[in-house]
């Protein structure tokens, strides 16, 4: 193992290279010191030029950190990512067609790293069918110059699949907590472990260079072998960054790393407003033992609601980055979890999701339409990307999409979504149960599209709901009033709600 400075490591990236970047969202295991050094090098010397950035998860602070360091004209030629929401400068370059840009499902990209590591042809999966990732609907391209077909439709044993092509990687920038003198890397202070191992393996198979940013160096043999996430045989350079923060917002939280659990009372309570209303209404769909995903956005508040109501341990909340149990974090730190019971590598979490392991998926919507389609990936002048949304929504037995009915006075229920991130028709064909929860009303996916099934207390359908929508939904004959408790400040007694429902069934072999 060789030690280097961030500047020395950045100097090894060449014109035209493909750079694989580890990490997630708002600083979780993001090698920001390496990215910053690479950005400085380009500003000072104009090199390297025309590189491709490849990262399964969006990486950035919503401003200029993370991938934002590379948002310089001439430096970045292409970007392939699960999400752009964390790096608005790069999203702006894509919208202006200054780079070739694709957004592909986070889970597919995560699992593709393993396929690349093994030298297999690519990833074949149903994830992304009938969404904007499907080549018949755009192939995930997010800029006019992104013309290469990265995804193909294939037939196998009479069924349709999508085939995600592999990439050649020249350099990987990864991150851990500790490296020993042999280059073995652990991640004990990180909130997530992601696919760091697969990314290192994939890079080495391509003959590429693996650079790992860490907080500290330990003596050879002093890291327990089960704590090693990236073996030293895969590591070329280690860059020590002693001031490394756990996230862009938090220096270190032991509740994120799993070092110890914080008291449930320390988990923040949601303040009043639509976010609390939608999260509390979503929480009414929980049942004892339910295995759930809380995607980034409005429904991350369900973890806060469950903690406030004392039912956090009655259900299992997860997020796609690999946390199982506890309360998934929200806002800029989405991807972490407070008090997780287990932390697994991200590809395995997506295996579980794709295999139908989720009872309930709580996901946000930017807009939904008369067909029941949902868009979270691109709307107006905003390029967000799907993140893990497509894997999660296509794999779960029941999907609950949440958001406000309007934004800035404009309807979020529209005649036709700008980009299909979730297909209502495909969901109906597969027998999924789908709800759309808003601050004013609740809709259920019916045979023709969303059906209005609940309305907030004191509101009138003709006066308060239909004028706020871009299409006229069917109205259920047994239209109900939303539970008044979700609008109040007092606890909802959610424990009693869960106790009145049948629990998650056990294995038939145990019946």
Residues catalogued as catalytic: 320
Q: 246 phi and psi, to 5 degrees?
A: -65, -40
Which strand (E) or helix (H) includes residue 384?
A: none
As a whole number of angstroms, the distance between CA 452 and CA 397 comes to 21
- Strand-pair category, 151-156 with 123-125: unpaired
- Strand-pair category, 185-186 with 228-230: antiparallel
As a whole number of angstroms, the distance between CA 60 and CA 28 comes to 9
Instruction: State the DSSP string of 287-314.
Output: -TT-EEEE-SSGGGHHHHHHHHTT-GGG
DSSP-derived 3-state class of residue 204? helix
As a whole number of angstroms, the distance between CA 238 and CA 374 comes to 43
Residue 369: closest CA among 384, 354, 358, 379: 379
Q: What angle do CA 475, 481, 482 make, to 5 degrees?
A: 110
Q: How many other C-beta atoms lie within 10 A of the C-beta of residue 404?
A: 18
- CA torsion 324-423-275-491 (nearest 10°) is -60
Residue 107: closest CA among 350, 454, 317: 350
Longest dimension (CA), the chain: 71
């Amino acid at each position: 193992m060789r030690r280097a400075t961030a500047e020395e490591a950045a100097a090894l990236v060449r014109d035209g290279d493909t750079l694989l970047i580890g990490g997630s969202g708002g600083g979780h295991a993001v090698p920001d010191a390496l990215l910053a050094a690479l950005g400085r090098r380009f500003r000072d010397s104009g090199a390297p030029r025309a590189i491709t950035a490849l990262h399964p998860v969006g990486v950035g602070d919503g401003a200029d950190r993370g991938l934002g360091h590379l948002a310089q004209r001439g430096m970045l030629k292409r970007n392939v990512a699960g999400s752009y929401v964390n790096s608005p400068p790069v999203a702006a370059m894509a919208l202006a067609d200054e780079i070739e840009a694709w957004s592909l499902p986070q889970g597919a990209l995560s699992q593709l790293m393993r396929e690349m590591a093994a030298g297999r042809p690519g990833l074949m999966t149903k994830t992304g069918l009938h969404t904007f990732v499907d080549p018949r609907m755009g192939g995930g391209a997010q800029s006019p110059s992104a013309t290469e077909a990265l995804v193909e439709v294939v037939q196998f044993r009479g069924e349709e699949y999508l085939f995600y092509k592999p990439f050649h990687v020249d350099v990987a920038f990864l991150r851990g907590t500790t490296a020993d003198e042999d280059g073995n890397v652990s991640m004990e202070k990180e909130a997530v472990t992601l696919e760091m191992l697969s990314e290192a393996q994939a890079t080495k198979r391509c003959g590429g260079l693996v650079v790992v940013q860490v907080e500290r160096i330990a003596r050879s043999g002093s890291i327990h072998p089960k704590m090693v996430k990236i073996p030293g045989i895969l590591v070329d350079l280690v860059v020590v960054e002693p001031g490394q923060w756990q996230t862009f917002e938090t220096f270190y939280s032991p509740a994120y790393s799993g070092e110890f659990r914080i008291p449930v009372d320390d988990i923040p309570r949601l303040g009043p407003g639509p976010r609390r209303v939608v999260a509390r209404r979503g929480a009414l769909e929980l049942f004892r033992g339910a295995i759930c995903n809380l995607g980034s956005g409005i429904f991350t508040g369900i973890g806060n609601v469950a903690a406030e109501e004392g039912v956090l341990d009655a259900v299992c909340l997860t997020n796609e980055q690999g946390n199982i149990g506890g309360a998934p974090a929200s806002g800029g730190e989405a991807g972490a979890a407070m008090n997780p019971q287990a932390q697994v590598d991200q590809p395995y979490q997506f295996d579980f999701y794709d295999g139908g392991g989720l009872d309930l998926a709580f996901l946000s919507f930017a807009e939904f339409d008369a067909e029941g389609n949902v868009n979270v990936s691109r709307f107006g002048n905003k390029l967000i990307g799907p993140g893990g949304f497509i894997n999660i929504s296509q794999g779960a037995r029941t999907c609950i999409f949440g958001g406000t009915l309007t934004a800035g006075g404009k309807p979020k229920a529209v005649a036709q979504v700008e980009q299909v991130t979730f297909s209502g028709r495909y969901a109906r064909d597969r027998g999924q149960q789908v709800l759309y929860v808003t601050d004013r009303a609740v809709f259920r996916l019916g045979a023709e599209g969303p059906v209005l099934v609940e309305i907030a207390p004191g509101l009138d359908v003709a006066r308060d709901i239909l004028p706020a929508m871009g299409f006229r939904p069917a109205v259920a004959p047994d239209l109900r009033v939303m539970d008044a408790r979700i609008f109040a400040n007092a606890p909802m007694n959610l424990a009693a709600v869960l106790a009145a429902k049948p629990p998650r069934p056990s294995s038939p072999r145990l019946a």
